Amino acid sequence: MIRTSSLTRRTLLKTAGAMPLALAAPSVLRAAGDPLKVGVYGGYFQDSFDSFVYPEFTKATGIEIESIAVPTGEAWLIQLQQAARAKRAPADVSMMATVSIMRGMRTGLWATLDEAAMPNVSNILPTLQNRYENGGLAAVGAVSWYITVATNTDTFPEPIGSWAELWDPKYQDSLGLLALVSNSYLLEITAKTFFGGTEYLSSDESILEVLAKVAELKPNTRLWYRDEAQFEQALKSGEIPIGQYYHDVTGLAAADGFPVRSNFPKEGGLRESGNWAVAGVSDKIDQAQVFIDYMSQPSVQAMLARNLGTAPNVARESMDLTDEEFAAVSSEIEPVVPRYDLHFERTDWLNQIWAEMLQA
């Protein structure tokens, strides 16, 4: 599952002045022949990488980039798998959601990466490194983002301290929540808030128990949204004054003067990530590894935080982000992490029981 940010081109241009003048560069490796094809989610992400990331990468390494717009994770995964059977690579490097990475690993779609050729990958948090059963590295965390509690400050002047408050009857018909089990991650949020952690989601019985708790949110929920812009507008106007939403986008709306706030509940925000993976049939694996190594530098992760609003995938102390810059994109509260294994193994069943819960 991917997100489509409502950040605008205007916002991008406003932040361009914050680009660092120089970045730490890996060893220069000049590409021969065609450019390295890199696929990221189309729209905001592609615009951002085209504007801020690829020119700096080419300046540092000499490797030219051909920018590819990637559709939803599952659709792109199918295209890559079909192309791989014909020994073709529509993109050498792709940014993929974690569940799509896992599906590709099952079929051996991704190249096993050479960690010795990518020393900066050791900066990436171990939980964001995806490995084959034999320990081989299949994918590396690219960027992350948080879903937190967003409120309209005209309606609720005080921040929400706990996800549990969303169940309070005083919020009847007040919430906007993401509509899918695979993008709201309300099972995980509820498990950590009321059942001691996401490990509670270990059996069908416990999952159904947590789902029953999620169902208690229905009287408080005015909108189960698929269109992020719809909820964002309702939040800004106060029509729907509280809900789960993206921390970075809410913060930018607040900076633009809208009466909104994003805050991390004590149980933590929900952290999602995109990952870099290299097509096994690519003939540019060496260049692809230079790209992933470059992206794994703390200085580049800090640049992404400042210019794309993504949460860094490296330890905070390794970067020069100020407290304000760090708070704009992340938090030191232990996050709620999606049970990707569950969404990978039980996709159809989860979608079925989620739909039944909403329709009941």
Q: Give me the mean pLDDT over the 279-293 stretch.
A: 97
Please name the amino acid found at residue 28. Answer: V
pLDDT band at 3 (very low <50, low <70, confident <90, very high): very low
- Name the percent of the chain lying above pLDDT 70: 90
pLDDT band at 24 (very low <50, low <70, confident <90, very high): very low
- Burial tier of 334 (Cβ tally within 10 Å: 0-12, 13-18, 19+): exposed
- Residue 278 CA neighbour count, 13 Å, CB half: 22
What is the per-residue pLDDT for 355? Answer: 97
195 vs 275: CA distance, rounded Å: 29
Q: Which residue has the higher pLDDT, 228 or 302?
A: 302
Secondary structure (3-state) at 133: coil
145 backbone dihedrals φ, ψ, rounded to 5°? -155, 160
258 vs 307: CA distance, rounded Å: 21
- Could you read off the pLDDT of 156-181 as tens digits, one per residue? 999 999 999 999 999 999 999 999 99
Q: Which residue has the higher pLDDT, 21 or 283?
A: 283
108 vs 119: CA distance, rounded Å: 24
What is the per-residue pLDDT for 142? Answer: 95
Q: Which of 32-46, 115-129, 335-349 has the lowest mean pLDDT?
A: 32-46
| pLDDT at 29 > cutoff 70 | no
User: Among candidates 157, 155, 127, which has minimal Cα distance to 140?
Assistant: 127
pLDDT band at 20 (very low <50, low <70, confident <90, very high): very low
Q: Give me the mean pLDDT over the 294-323 stretch.
A: 94
29 vs 63: CA distance, rounded Å: 7
Q: Can you list the alpha helix ranges (DSSP code H) found in the chain?
A: 9-15, 44-48, 54-61, 73-85, 98-106, 181-184, 186-194, 204-215, 228-237, 247-255, 285-295, 298-308, 323-329, 340-345, 347-359
For the CA atoms of 207, 208, 213, 217, the dihedral, rounded to the nearest 10 degrees, stands at 100
161 backbone dihedrals φ, ψ, rounded to 5°? -85, -20
Q: Give me the mean pLDDT over the 292-310 stretch.
A: 93
Give the rounded distance of the alpha carbon of 160 from its chain centre. Answer: 23
What is the per-residue pLDDT for 1? Answer: 42
Quick one: which H or E segment has residue 129? strand 129-131
User: Among candidates 108, 145, 187, which has minimal Cα distance to 310?
Assistant: 145
> Burial letters for 174-198: b for 16+ Cβ neighbours within 10 Å, e otherwise?
bbbbbbbbbbbbbbbbbbbbbeeeb
What is the per-residue pLDDT for 69? Answer: 92
- Could you read off the pLDDT of 115-141 as tens digits, one per residue? 999 999 999 999 999 999 999 999 999
What is the per-residue pLDDT for 4? Answer: 44
90 vs 51: CA distance, rounded Å: 22
CA separation (Å) from 305 to 38, 255, 326?
A: 20, 16, 8
38 vs 65: CA distance, rounded Å: 7
> Given the structure tokens 């994109």, which residue do they identify?
329
| pLDDT at 253 > cutoff 80 | yes
CA separation (Å) from 13 to 8, 18, 62, 68, 251?
A: 9, 10, 25, 21, 17
| pLDDT at 8 > cutoff 80 | no
User: Among candidates 297, 299, 304, 277, which has minimal Cα distance to 289?
Assistant: 277
Q: Which residue has the higher pLDDT, 115 or 46?
A: 115
What is the per-residue pLDDT for 32? Answer: 53
The answer to whether residues 301 and 312 touch, using CB atoms and an 8 Å cutoff, is yes
| pLDDT at 18 > cutoff 60 | no
| pLDDT at 92 > cutoff 50 | yes
| pLDDT at 5 > cutoff 80 | no
Give the rounded distance of the alpha carbon of 308 from its chain centre. Answer: 12
What is the per-residue pLDDT for 7? Answer: 43
| pLDDT at 243 > cutoff 50 | yes
User: Among candidates 336, 161, 143, which has minimal Cα distance to 265?
Assistant: 161
- Burial tier of 326 (Cβ tally within 10 Å: 0-12, 13-18, 19+): middle
7 vs 308: CA distance, rounded Å: 9
130 backbone dihedrals φ, ψ, rounded to 5°? -100, 125
pLDDT band at 114 (very low <50, low <70, confident <90, very high): very high
- Could you read off the pLDDT of 205-227 as tens digits, one per residue? 999 999 999 999 999 999 999 88
| pLDDT at 23 > cutoff 60 | no
Q: Calculate the average pLDDT of the chain.
A: 90
Q: Give me the mean pLDDT over the 46-75 stretch.
A: 90
